[in-house]
Structure 1
Amino acid sequence: MTNRSDRRLAGVVEQDITMQCIDSLGRGHDLETVFSYQRSDPFAVTITFVTHEGDLPWTFSRDLLARGMTEPTGDGDVHVSPSIDQRGRAVVVVELSSPDGHLVTQAYIKDVRQFISRSFALVPEGEESQHMPIDDMILQLLTA
């Protein structure tokens, strides 16, 4: 897949990444995804799984993805850890759990590192709270 254009002016970073879905026998199957990050939701990243039935987004902590490239991390429904694939290449394993099932995926660490670097260029690590739309959130809570 090719990278989507970097829309920094719009406050969005997107990157197409082909992940491997690991089945119960340990075999990998290509899975097209779009990793995205938005300045308006500065603590989160979304992996959208592109399927024939439609797109399936999964949103979780940007910090979790970044830390998971160097050490196993995660609680609950998302776990991220560095690993080596069957061919000896560095990968990031992303495990997702829900009441509907469990999915184990992996992506080349170089692709994930490129995405994370681009997201940090948009909103540096530690500066996320400066980009929180607090006034908009308060307005939404008061009008709900």
Structure 2
Amino acid sequence: MITVIEQAVQARLVATAPKVESVPVTLGYDRADPFALRMSFPAPATLEGVEVSWTFARELLTVGLKRPTGLGDVRVRPYDGDRIVVEFHAPEGIAIVLMETEEVRGFLDRTDALVPSGLEHLYLDMDQDLAELLRDSL
């Protein structure tokens, strides 16, 4: 059974230090962490020159397809009928990423087929999480 989904999407970086117009971004989702998704940027598109990943709520991306959402480090909003904007706020500055709405929607549909929205709690392994917490405290 599939438990991890990864999908490459083309993204346009609007505001970033190294001037990169279009980069392949990888969207990732793991059923073991059902509330979150990951967006990874390749090394040439980052200030550090290494791959950088941001992890944030799946719901943030889902809601952001329809209306502006997010108050913290990650904010999402529709841009036009065909694209969405994802903003990443960090001490180094703000990166604004444009992605095709349909590509993102397709990725979210795949995550929803794996773990239906609203039922994420059923996929949490509380015993394992508690064991990890206790192990780390020793």
Paired residue for 2:98, among 102, 106, 110? Answer: 106
Aligned to 2:88, the other structure's residue is in SS state strand
Residue 23 of structure 1 and its aligned partner are, at CA, apart by: 3.0
2:79 and 2:94 map into 1 onto residues whose CA distance is 19
Match of 2:22 in 1: 30
TM-score (norm 1): 0.85
Residue 118 of structure 1 and its aligned partner are, at CA, apart by: 0.3
Map 1:55-70 to 2 at 5 A.
55-70=51-66
Residue 28 of structure 1 and its aligned partner are, at CA, apart by: 7.6
Aligned to 2:109, the other structure's residue is in SS state helix
Q: Which AA in structure 1 matches 2:85?
A: V
Paired residue for 1:41, among 29, 33, 37? Answer: 33
2:93 and 2:2 map into 1 onto residues whose CA distance is 35
Map 1:1-144 to 2 at 5 A.
9-23=1-15, 29-52=21-44, 53-84=49-80, 90-144=82-136
Residue 101 of structure 1 and its aligned partner are, at CA, apart by: 1.5
TM-align CA RMSD? 1.6
TM-score (norm 2): 0.89
1:75 and 1:48 map into 2 onto residues whose CA distance is 21
Structure 2: runs of 5 or more not aligned: none
2:26 and 2:131 map into 1 onto residues whose CA distance is 31
Contact conserved, 2:15 with 2:94, CA < 8 A, in 1?
A: no
Aligned length: 130
Aligned to 2:33, the other structure's residue is in SS state coil
Residue 94 of structure 1 and its aligned partner are, at CA, apart by: 0.1
**Percent identical:** 33
Aligned to 2:121, the other structure's residue is in SS state helix
Choose 120-129 or 89-98, whichever is displaced more: 89-98
Structure 1: runs of 5 or more not aligned: 1-8
Could you give the per-residue CA deviations for residues 60-119 of structure 1, whole angstroms, max 9, x where no partner exists? 0000000000000001101000012xxxx5101000001122100010000000000000
